[in-house]
Structure 1
Amino acid sequence: MTLRGRDFLSVSDLDREELLGVLELAARIKAGGWREQALAGKHVAMLFQKPSNRTRVSFEVGIARLGGQSVALGENDVQLGERESVPDAARVLERYVDLVVARLKRHADLLELAAWSGVPVVSLEGVRLVFVGDGNNVVTSLAHAQARLGFPFTVVTPPGYEPPAEVRAAAPEMKVSNDLAAVTGADAVYTDVWTSMGFESEREERRKAFARYRVDSELLRRAPDAIFLHCLPAHRGEEVTDEVIDGPRSAVWDQAENRLHAQMALLALVV
């Protein structure tokens, strides 16, 4: 399978077989059974308006392991829409690099970057997954994955913080509940920060709204066989307690490692 020349801006850009192909290659890379230098002689621009240590380090390491060279560009290096328009920046970058990895503040800028760039742009069954928290961008990605892979998926969130209508329409089998009892019997319990970037002004309001939705030992008693997941960084004491994230059922650190292998698989398939 190849995704050569394709942009990847969302899980919705892949169909079921393509998504499974990425995950299968990631598993092979993690197991050490795939050592091709897919990025040998290639240069990758990493354009980050929103800082993220995990995203930057995992991509840089993945690019290097695949034989490529990365060029990191911060917000001050390329001031999209200010010092230079998005189309102009995209057309210049495509003359220098073979691939662009972008983490931008505005999704509209990401779409425009992909539209004007001639090189690929990457944005960043059976198991019952329950997400507890805000129906945010993490839920959006999980919903698109569920629609393609068919695993049981439930979002448990306070009233007013449910996934938007377009996300629910894209994953009609996804269940949404305000009742913590929906965690019962889960195989994996996933959470994320209560206040995402761009919503800092709502921090106190969200703390009050989500107080009952903290993942702690009491909540996990409803799902005694479940593992715990979090995409990090975690606000310990808010969405999750120390005893859960550091406990024996936490798979957070495996999850952080697996992102490296998944990103390597995706990079290898789009070049």
Structure 2
Amino acid sequence: MALTARHLISIDDLTDADLASLVTRGADFAAGRAAGERPLDGAVAGIYFARTSTRTRTAFSSGALRLGARIIAYGPGDLQLNTGESTEDTGRVLSGMLDLLVARTAGDPAEMRGWASQDRMAVVNAMSADEHPTQALTDLTTLLGQFGRIEGLRVLYVGEGNNTAAALALALPRFRSVHLELRTPPGYGLAPDVLVRAAATAARTGATVVERHDMDDLPRDVDAVYTTRWQTTGTSKPDPDWRRIFAPFQVGAALWRTSPDAVFLHDLPAHRGEEVTAEVLDGPASIAFRQAENKMNSAMAVLEWSRGGPLREPSSVAALGLAPGVVAGAAPAR
């Protein structure tokens, strides 16, 4: 019996039930509770990266192999997209040969939507210019493993409102009573439509999402401090003075004076002395490298789900703190 392909281009493609299932399953893989399972036996996965990647590419490649799939890897110059073939035609052709495609594009997410215009091959966004959904799933898996819950967590994000921040802002407010505060440099905040979508989600779950463009009056007693590199992979900033604007947003030890028990998250790669000090990244509060390892655990959950794997509804759904309706698969606010 053929499995139903599920596409993951944006966090908004996931129902609440999907999100709960993926985070729970990622935690299962991280804890070794799913060791030896091979739900992708016989499947063929394409791994296409038009941009550099260490963690995400390795995570999906290793995860696919561990789950029993065979992989075909493509580099930025390998597909006929470079000679003008449409994304729709490319997707249609690949869907007759691959069971799923994991892709990191050079920019426009519409490219992935073109590949996903067919329903035979699952398409997974491993980062586009506007959003990094599998990073958010990694982050939630890491938070669940650290705290045993997501409900009610207080997270401070410091840095550019990039694709990682966008995915986090769309995913975290799905959980009850979460507080996400973003401090982004002036002119480098979240896209307005992302803030609107995040606010709509927060309104139905009792979460809060706040964005400010300064480092004054930081929230106290946060559970996690999160930052990302200032120079997002594959991008450059038009303002030659951008480093001066970003300088006040460096994450240093002073942030722990009012949140002494907070953990530190970073999606890596990190540039010590820029977005974060070495004292923080290599210090006792940092779980950034455990977070990186969870890339693979989360990738395995996504790969299994994308090929029609069952939704997981264990008792930990309650601990996740999703709003009522999760088991019924409530659709996210659009």
TM-score (norm 1): 0.93
Residue of 151, 154, 168 corresponding to 1:128? 154
Q: Does 1:64 align with 2:70?
A: no
Please list the CA deviations of residues 81-132 of structure 1 after superposition, one character each: whole Å capped at 9, or x if unmatched.
Answer: 5353222221221111110001011222112111246311011221101100
What are the within-5 Å matches in structure 2 for residues 96-115 of structure 1? 96-106=97-107, 107-115=109-117
State whether residues 59 and 295 of structure 2, in contact with CA within 8 Å, keep that contact through their aligned partners in structure 1.
Answer: yes
Taking the aligned partners of 1:59 and 1:73, their CA distance within structure 2 comes to 13
In structure 2, relative to structure 1, the CA distance for the partners of 1:148 and 1:84 (3 Å cut) is: same
Letter in 2 for 1:174: V
The structure with higher relative contact order (CA 8 Å, sep 6+) is 2
Are residue 29 (structure 1) and residue 29 (structure 2) matched? yes
With 96-105 and 154-163 compared, the bigger mean Cα shift is at 154-163
AA paired with 2:102? V
Given candidates 179, 187, 193, the residue that maps to 1:152 is: 179
Q: Where does residue 200 of structure 1 map in the other structure?
A: 236
* Aligned residues with identical type, % of pairs: 39
Q: Give the residue type in structure 1 aligned to 2:116.
A: A
Q: Which amino acid in 2 is paired with 1:111?
A: R
Runs of 5+ consecutive residues of structure 2 not aligned to the other structure: 127-150, 200-207, 308-334
- Tell me how far 1:30 sits from its aligned partner: 1.6
- Tell me the distance in 2 between the aligned counterparts of 1:51 and 1:203: 23
Q: What is the CA RMSD across the aligned residues, in angstroms?
A: 1.7
8 Å Cα contact 1:16-1:149 kept in structure 2: no
Alpha-carbon distance between aligned partners in 1 of 2:14 and 2:123, rounded to the nearest angstrom? 14
By how many angstroms is 1:12 displaced? 1.4
SS in 2 for 1:228: strand
Aligned to 2:210: 175
On the 8 A contact 1:7/1:120 being kept in 2, the answer is yes
Partner SS for 1:115: coil
Residues paired across the two proteins, number? 269
- 8 Å Cα contact 2:55/2:295 also seen in 1: no
Runs of 4+ in 1 over 6 A off after TM superposition: none
Q: How does 1:118-267 map to 2 (within 5 A)?
A: 118-124=120-126, 125-150=151-176, 151-172=178-199, 173-180=208-215, 181-202=217-238, 204-267=240-303
Give how far 1:193 is off.
Answer: 1.3
Contact 1:183/1:189 (<8 A) preserved = no
Aligned-pair CA distance for 1:214? 0.2
Cα deviation code 1:206-255 (max 9, x no counterpart): 21111011001122323211100000111211100111100000000110
Alpha-carbon shift at residue 202 of structure 1 (Å): 3.5
Retained in 2: the 8 A contact 1:26–1:262?
Answer: yes
Higher helix share: 1
Once residues 201 and 190 of structure 1 are traced to their aligned partners in structure 2, the CA distance between those partners, rounded to angstroms, is 21
SS in 2 for 1:262: helix
Q: Give the 3 Å change call, closer, same or farther, for CA 104–79 of structure 1 in structure 2.
A: farther
Q: 1:270 to 1:48 in 2, by over 3 A?
A: same
| Alignment correspondent of 1:90 | 91
In structure 1, the gaps of 5 or more residues are none
Corresponding residue for 1:46?
47
Instruction: Provide the C-alpha distance between the structure 2 equivalents of 1:55 and 1:197, rounded to a whole number of angstroms.
Output: 12
2: CA distance, partners of 1:148 / 1:4? 25
- Rounded to whole Å, the distance in 2 between the matches of 1:26 and 1:197 is 25
Per the alignment, residue 7 of structure 1 pairs with 7
